[in-house]
Amino acid sequence: MSMLESILSPRSCRNCRVCCGFTREDIWEIPLIYKENRTSVEKMLGVGLVPRGKEFVFDMDFNSNGVSYCPALSENGCTLGELKPFDCAVWPFRVNALGDMRVITVSPVCETVFSLPLKTLSDFVRKDGFAEKMFTEAHMHPDIVKPYIGGYPILAVEKDI
């Protein structure tokens, strides 16, 4: 069972896939492949990865519409299994830097999750150690922390957890 299955069904993800496509404007959102997984991911997918900070990302090729899809995407979803990037496993939730704080937000791009009441989302990130896991991951891999985007609801603040 995925970390998000209680609020986002695998079927919904497979039918949408908006999080697996990138434009040049949102290239900064390409999920990070941790350096310890680099060789396994490259071998599994037969693609090269390029450095981003201390981690790696897919070298994306954009189609004529200016969109590039993750090379791990298949008809059944992500092919990476246990190597699935943390960014992907927790999306549409993310750790953001807001001043000197780290916060957990939710992206409005995932309509299924974003349509849920904010109380439901806030309760979700606080239960079963989800927020703690996200903040711990951010400490271990600080390159996953993205700048805060105005208007994204803040569901948890690291100091509150």
Which residue ranges make up each domain of the chain?
Answer: 10-82, 89-160
Kindly report the average pLDDT of the chain as a whole number.
Answer: 91
Please tell me the distance from the alpha carbon of residue 108 to that of residue 129, in angstroms, as a whole number.
23
pLDDT bracket for residue 161 (50, 70, 90): very low
**pLDDT for 1 beyond 70:** no
Mean pLDDT of 27-40: 93
| pLDDT tens digit sequence for 110-132 | 999 999 999 999 999 998 899 99
Q: Check residue 116 and give its pLDDT.
A: 93
Instruction: Tell whether the model's pLDDT for residue 32 goes beyond 90.
Output: yes
The residue-averaged pLDDT of 136-148 equals: 95
Q: What does the alpha-carbon distance between residue 15 and residue 145 come to, in Å, rounded to a whole number?
A: 27
pLDDT, residue 52, reads 94
**Would you state the pLDDT for residue 101?**
93
> What does the block give as tokens for 78?
């992500």
Does residue 160 have a pLDDT over 60? no
Query: 10: how many CB neighbours lie within 10 A of its CB?
Result: 14
Contacts of 49 (CB under 8 A, 6+ apart): 33, 38, 41, 42, 56, 57, 58, 59
pTM, full prediction: 0.89
Rounded CA separation 158/161 (Å): 6
Taking residues 133-160, report their average pLDDT: 92
For residue range 41-69, what is the model confidence (pLDDT) as tens digits? 999 999 999 999 999 999 988 999 999 99
